């Protein structure tokens, strides 16, 4: 009986080890501007969080500093090539300073809820030439500070291609029914990000990206242009820490954004 118990325990341990070894490399959505084409392994959960995110916008009239804390993304693998996602920002805070009067105002609140499905069409581990489609919707659950005020929706098509063992190219076109600036109704927005990722060491990688987004809000059309540099460190198979910075390249874009985050697979 004792030998049978030992044999059963060893068998279960072997199965668990084999399952762990069969998992694809951890492939978080963060950091950076692009969206990866990879999907979470079936039956597994990836939780990603922006620990802190600060952005700055300045013009001749005012300076606006914005922070978000606990920017949460939960991803669950439904099949080997499809996952569902839920995103929510726990807290956002905005500080605005009027340049002329020196008056400072503060506001804070929670963010909207985002629901998405990512269906991979080629190479769900993100290797080779990987393609996915990702429809999403945002629900107006947040407050006036960082919430949009109405529902929105869109379609993202992540693509990536491994140029070499160390270099990868990514492209993320998207089209959105974005919420109007007056918080009622929707308008067309579209654009894409493109990036080059580099494997620096066995656990450290970086990415340089550019993004252009055209927003056709009835109050005024604008095109944002952004450049991003990010680093991701995976000290363990199921854990990633990241840091990144985004710079605006034109007057319609935020001046600067700096963030820190974490991703964990379960």
CA atoms within 13 A on the CB side of 186: 16
Q: Read off the tokens for 117.
A: 């499905």
Asked whether the beta carbons of 77 and 83 are under 8 A apart, the reply is: yes
In a domain, 183, yes or no: yes
Task: State yes or no: pLDDT of 171 exceeds 60.
Answer: yes
Asked if residue 134 lies in contact with residue 115, where contact means CB atoms within 8 angstroms, the answer is no
Has residue 20 been placed in a domain?
Answer: no
Query: For residue 4, what pLDDT band results from cuts at 50, 70 and 90?
Result: very low
Dist. CA 228–CA 256, nearest whole Å: 10
Task: Read off the CATH number of the domain in which 175 is found.
Answer: 2.40.160.40
In a domain, residue 214? The reply is: yes
Q: Count the neighbouring beta carbons within 10 Å of the beta carbon of residue 99.
A: 12
Return the pLDDT at 21: 56
- Would you say 239 and 211 are in contact if contact means Cβ atoms under 8 Å apart? no
Domain assignment of residue 7, yes or no: no
Which two three-digit tokens encode residue 216?
Answer: 């056709």
Mean of all residue pLDDT scores within the chain: 92
Range of the domain at 172: 25-265
Q: What is the pLDDT of residue 60?
A: 87
Is 15 inside any structural domain? no
**9 CB-contact burial (10 Å; exposed 0-12 / middle 13-18 / buried 19+):** exposed
Long-range residue pairs from 251-254, CB within 8 A, at least 24 positions apart, any chain: 251/59, 252/222, 252/223, 252/224, 252/225, 253/224, 253/225, 253/226, 254/55, 254/56, 254/57, 254/224
CB atoms within 10 A of CB 185: 13
When divided into structural domains, the chain yields a total of 1
Mean local confidence (pLDDT), 135-161: 96
Q: How far apart are CA 152 and CA 139, in angstroms?
A: 7
In this prediction, residues 217-237 reach a mean pLDDT of 96
Average pLDDT over residues 163-189: 96
> What's the rounded mean pLDDT across residues 211-216?
97
Q: Residue 31, exposed/middle/buried by CB under 10 A (0-12, 13-18, 19+)? A: buried
In a domain, 4, yes or no: no
Percent of the chain clearing pLDDT 70 (strictly above): 92
Residue 20: the pLDDT is 52
234, part of any domain: yes
Q: At residue 8, does pLDDT exceed 80?
A: no
pTM (predicted TM-score) = 0.88
Structural domain includes residue 110? yes
**pLDDT at site 63:** 96
The per-residue pLDDT for range 80-138, each reduced to its tens digit, is: 999 999 999 999 999 999 998 989 999 999 999 999 999 999 999 999 999 999 999 99
Mean pLDDT of 40-51: 97
Give the pLDDT score at 17.
39
Is the pLDDT assigned to residue 190 strictly greater than 80?
A: yes
């Amino acid at each position: 009986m004792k030998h049978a118990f030992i044999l059963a325990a060893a068998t279960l341990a072997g199965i668990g080890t084999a399952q762990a070894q069969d998992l694809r490399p951890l492939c978080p959505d963060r950091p950076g501007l692009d969206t990866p084409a990879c999907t979470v392994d079936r039956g597994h959960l990836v939780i990603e969080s922006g620990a802190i995110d600060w952005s700055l916008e300045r013009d001749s009239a005012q300076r606006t500093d914005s922070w978000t804390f606990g920017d949460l993304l939960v991803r669950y693998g439904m099949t080997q090539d499809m996952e569902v996602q839920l995103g929510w920002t726990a807290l956002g805070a905005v500080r605005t300073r009027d340049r002329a009067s020196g008056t400072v105002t503060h506001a804070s609140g929670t963010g909207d809820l985002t629901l998405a499905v990512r269906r991979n069409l080629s190479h769900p581990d993100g290797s080779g030439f990987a393609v996915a489609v990702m429809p999403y919707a945002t629900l107006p659950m947040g407050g006036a500070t960082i919430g949009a005020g109405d529902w929105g929706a869109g379609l993202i098509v992540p693509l990536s291609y491994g140029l070499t063992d160390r270099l990868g190219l990514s492209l993320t076109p998207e089209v959105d029914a974005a919420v109007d600036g007056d918080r009622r109704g929707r308008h067309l927005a579209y654009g894409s990000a493109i990036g080059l990722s580099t494997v620096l060491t066995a656990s450290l990688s970086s990415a340089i990206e550019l993004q252009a987004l055209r927003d056709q809000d009835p109050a005024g059309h604008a095109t944002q242009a952004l450049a991003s540099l990010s680093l991701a460190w995976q000290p363990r198979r199921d854990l990633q820490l990241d840091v990144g910075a985004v710079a605006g390249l034109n007057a319609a874009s935020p001046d600067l954004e700096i963030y820190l985050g974490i991703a964990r697979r379960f």
